[in-house]
Chains A and B, each alone.
Chain A
Amino acid sequence: MKQKILVIEDNEQNMYLVNFILEKYGYQVIQARSGDEGIQQAQQQNPDLVLLDIQLPVMDGYEVARELRKMKLMAEIPIVAVTSYAMPGDRENAMEAGCSGYIEKPINPETFITEVEHFLHFAKNGSNP
């Protein structure tokens, strides 16, 4: 059965890129353009992994992560932060908010899928590749 990956990303091109790669490698992608939509989709769709853009407008990524973590069904699901990591402390903040790990932006198209699968296999407590 295809694994579901929830992608929460507000940038169109970024979403297209990630969606293309994931689908190419056989994953079902659920798209969400905002934090709210993301939370909604998580509840309804029960994804196996969440790719969360930290730099979201309105509800920032950390908050989304926190909200997702509050949900029972998300307890064991890896939430991977996708971030530019511009500022010191970004990494720590993400971990504190409940992220299982992070992938740096801009994504490396060659290694992206490997990184994602790493998280899928190591689930919530997986370490960064």
Chain B
Amino acid sequence: MRRFLLTLLVILTSLSLAGWRKQEPIRTIRVGVYENEPKIFTNEDGKVSGFWADLITAIAQKENWEIIWVHGSWTECLERLENGEIDVMPDMGMTEGRKSQFVFNSEAVITSWARVYVHEGVTIETILGLEGKRVAGLEGSLNFDGPEGIKDLVERFGVNCTFVGMKSYEDVFIALQKKEVDAGITNKDFGDFNENVYALTRTPIILQPTQIRFAFPKNTSSTPKLVETVDHHLKVFKQDSHSIYYQALDRYFGEKSTPSFVEIIPGWIYSFSIFTAVIILFLIAVSLTARKQVREQTLELRTSEARNRALLENIPDNIFRVNREGVFLDFHSSGEKTIFSSSELFLGKRVDEVIEPGLAKSMRDHLERAIDDRKMQVHEYQIMLDGKLRDHEARYTASGENEVIVIVRDITDRKKTERELKESEERYQTLANVAPVGIFRTDIQGNTTYVNPTWCRISELSHDEALGNGWLRVVHPDDRQVLAENWKKSAQRHAVSIADYRFLRDDGSVVWVMGQAVPEFNSDNQVVGYIGTITDITERKKVEELQAAVYKAESADRLKSAFLATMSHELRTPLNSIIGFTGILLQKLVGPLSEEQEKQLNMVQDSARHLLALINDVLDISKIEAGQVTLYTDKFDLADAIRISMEKVFPLAEKKGLLLSSVMVPERIEMVSDRRRIEQVLINLLNNAVKFTEKGKVHLQCQIIDKNVMISVSDTGIGIKAENIPTLFQPFKQVDSGISRQYEGTGLGLSICKKLVELLEGEIWVESEPGKGSTFIFTLPLQE
């Protein structure tokens, strides 16, 4: 137990000793000193005095501190404070920047501000008054270089002045007194103290009200204790009106110091500061606005200046002053090549001496007229300059009784353009006159203003007749409406109007024309009229009409063709069944037939076959009539065709007991024709011959005559009466309708034969004697 207590005691003691050690008493303080009477300074005796010195000395005494004064310049002191080479620095303006650098004590000590001074007799009321002035200040001080110092403020106001940095406030005042500078800024305290010495006047310009306190280095260990101690004492001082604080104030600043004066920034300072701040803000605003206005006005002025300059520089004129006699008195050129390269050549000389006689005389005349008539004379002439021919325009204006101002302008380019335009115009005219299309122009209402010769030729109107509305007269009445609408629509859309229409000439003839018209625009893009062409398209129209007709015909043909094909098929189909089934039955393929059944079925079949024959013939002739027959031309042996046809007819001839014979001369005949059709004709004629002959023979004769072959089919039949012969080859014209039933046939055979033969470019006719027989003859070219 005892041991424990002892150990505890030792521990406690050491701890307290340790703690004590931490709180080692301050023995000495190093205080920064710079020369700033009366705030802090070294007097004649070498003793550091001043408000701050007394203050810190008093505190040190009470604390038993030894003061070590460290002298230096303001900047040096600041450095030392920063580095911790001194422990305390008096008279430090407490700014935001410094608060982060150093430690300040908490008790207010004194307030200060900066003031601008001028030398006597000068009046500067505001910062603006510093414009263009030289201003001196303490280099590095807050009120000079610092934020919201004079330099800063001046810049904000947009005031231009020159700043001269001095090493001390004295130097500032000296410079000011010597009038080396126009104004100087110092701390108020310095100013108060010294203004009379240097005979300087304070201006109302004050800045930077600042708290002045003690400052301590940040990182020194003694700082916290020092701060605490200083604050403590200051507090005590300030409560005692007889303390060193007030004494020092009195002694050094000479103000009747009351707590209120020092303790707080006096009320009037506050309101004054606020008032000043407001004024400053207002002035800043005004100055900014003023600056802006000035900038704008300057810009305007500069722009207009530039414009004027440009104008002047672009007048390509030479201006002469000439007297009545023609002597050049004066001359101004814009720089363009003038009549003469240098004015010496003609100033003082007469026109005739300098310009070739012809032109000179003309100029003299113009001069005189200008003066006599009191009217401006315009004179265009050509003159040789630098080896080039130039066009000039001179205007002579009299100025007084004896003088004329002549303004000469080079118009070569203008003249050139004019000439080119004229040439172009002429070319256009020529073109319009010879163009093979009609050209016309109208005004905006559509009244014709111009037509070219071709137009007149097409319409057969004269130029004058065509003008105005005249041209409408020749437009075909049927087309007028359409044309008018077409024009209107195109005009609205400012598009090309294209239309085909007719001219109806006085002689009744019709001309088809294709007209095109476009609007004409002026330089403002407004329609001023129309220009167009007409082309004679009568030929084209004819072709078009023909083509339409052909197409129509072909369509009709196609229809016919389709009709015939359909009819053919439709008509034949049922016959297939009739002929087919009766055939099967008659062949007894289905079973035996009674006599009567056979008889009746035969009748059915006969009729069916007859019907088929009719259908075939009708279709055939229809086709021929409709021009639907296509001939298939080929090389073939006629003998062969004849033989085949004969073979077809032979069974019938045999049945009737007729002799069928043929003779061919020569025996082989080569033909180029439609073999099938020839066979058709042959079969038809032979069939007829056999049909109408009861006994005897049917003979076919074939021979070549010239470039044709002639075939005749003769029979010993009933013959044909003379009166029947003319209508023999017509459809359905059978001899004696009574007999016709007997002889079957469709009644179309001969007409088909005729058509076919004629299609093949041949001829067919008949020779007959009733009761004796008939001979049908037809010829065909050997080559189609």
Contact = CB atoms under 8 A, between A and B. Distances in A.
B568 A106 contact: no
Contacts of B612: 106
| Interface class of chain B by DSSP | helix
A106 B580 contact: yes
Interface string B436-457: 0000000000000000000000
Of the candidates B572, B575, B582, B589, the one having the most CB atoms from chain A within 10 angstroms of its own CB is B572
B222 interface: no
B564 A86 contact: yes
A44 interface: no
Contact of B576 (A87, A88, A105, A110): A105
A interface: dominant SS = loop
Given A17-B576, A86-B619, A108 B569 contact: no
Contacts of A110: 583, 587
Interface string B536-577: 000000000000000000000000010011001100110111
Interface string A88-110: 11000000000000000111111
Contact of A106 (B565, B572, B628): B572
A84 B561 CA distance: 15
A14 B573 contact: yes
A13 B578 CA distance: 10
Interface residues of A, number: 19
A51 to B, nearest CB: 13
Contacts, number: 63
B584 A106 contact: no
B579 interface: yes
A13 B584 CA distance: 13
B581 interface: yes
A86 B569 contact: yes
Interface string A63-102: 0000000000000000000001011110000000000000
Contacts of B565: 86-87
Contacts of B572: 84, 105-106
Contacts of B619: 86
B577 to A, nearest CB: 4
Contacts of A24: 584, 589
Interface in B620-654: 628-630, 632
A9 to B, nearest CB: 10
Nearest to A85: B568
Contact of B561 (A17, A87, A107): A87
Contacts of B576: 11, 13-14, 17, 105-107
Contacts of A89: 630
Contacts of B584: 17, 20-21, 24, 109
A20 B584 CA distance: 9
Interface in B317-364: none
A55 interface: yes
A69 B230 CA distance: 130
Contacts of B568: 84, 86-87
Nearest to A24: B589
A11 B632 CA distance: 31
Contact of B575 (A21, A55, A87, A106): A106
B569 A107 contact: no
Nearest to B561: A87
A51 B168 CA distance: 137
Interface string A12-35: 011001001100100000000000
Q: Kindly state the interface size class of chain B when it binds its partner.
A: 20 to 34
A24 to B, nearest CB: 5
B223 to A, nearest CB: 117
B84 to A, nearest CB: 115
B497 to A, nearest CB: 49
Contacts of B573: 11, 14, 84, 105-106
B630 A108 contact: no
B419 to A, nearest CB: 75
A60 to B, nearest CB: 12
Contacts of A106: 572-573, 575-576, 579-580, 612
A14 B574 CA distance: 9
Contacts of A87: 561, 564-565, 568
Contacts of A55: 569
B585 to A, nearest CB: 9
A109 B569 contact: no
Greatest chain B CB density within 10 A among A24, A105, A107 is at A105
A13 B577 contact: yes
A123 B658 CA distance: 39
A87 B575 CA distance: 18
A95 to B, nearest CB: 13
Contact of B583 (A84, A86, A105, A109): A109
B581 to A, nearest CB: 6
Contacts of A84: 568-569, 572-573
A55 B576 CA distance: 14
A126 B619 CA distance: 30
Contacts of B577: 13-14, 17
A127 B589 CA distance: 28
Interface in B461-508: none
B584 to A, nearest CB: 5
A84 B575 CA distance: 11
Given A11-B573, A84-B569, A107 B580 contact: yes
Contacts of A20: 584, 589
A109 B587 contact: yes
A110 B565 CA distance: 26
B233 to A, nearest CB: 128
Contacts of B632: 88
A109 B589 CA distance: 11
Interface string B385-404: 00000000000000000000
B183 to A, nearest CB: 118
A18 to B, nearest CB: 8
A10 to B, nearest CB: 11
Contact of A109 (B561, B564, B580, B630): B580
A84 B630 CA distance: 17
Nearest to B619: A86
A108 B583 contact: yes
A21 B587 CA distance: 10
B579 A109 contact: yes
Nearest 10 pairs of A and B residues by beta carbon: A109-B583, A86-B568, A88-B630, A106-B576, A17-B580, A13-B577, A86-B565, A106-B575, A84-B572, A87-B565
Given A24-B584, A105-B573, 19 more contacts: A11-B573, A13-B576, A14-B573, A14-B577, A17-B576, A17-B581, A17-B584, A21-B584, A84-B569, A84-B572, A86-B568, A86-B569, A105-B576, A106-B573, A106-B580, A107-B579, A108-B579, A109-B584, A109-B587
27 contacts: A13-B576, A14-B580, A20-B589, A24-B584, A24-B589, A55-B569, A84-B569, A84-B573, A86-B619, A87-B564, A87-B565, A87-B568, A88-B630, A88-B632, A105-B572, A105-B573, A105-B576, A106-B575, A106-B576, A106-B580, A107-B576, A107-B580, A108-B583, A109-B580, A109-B586, A110-B583, A110-B587
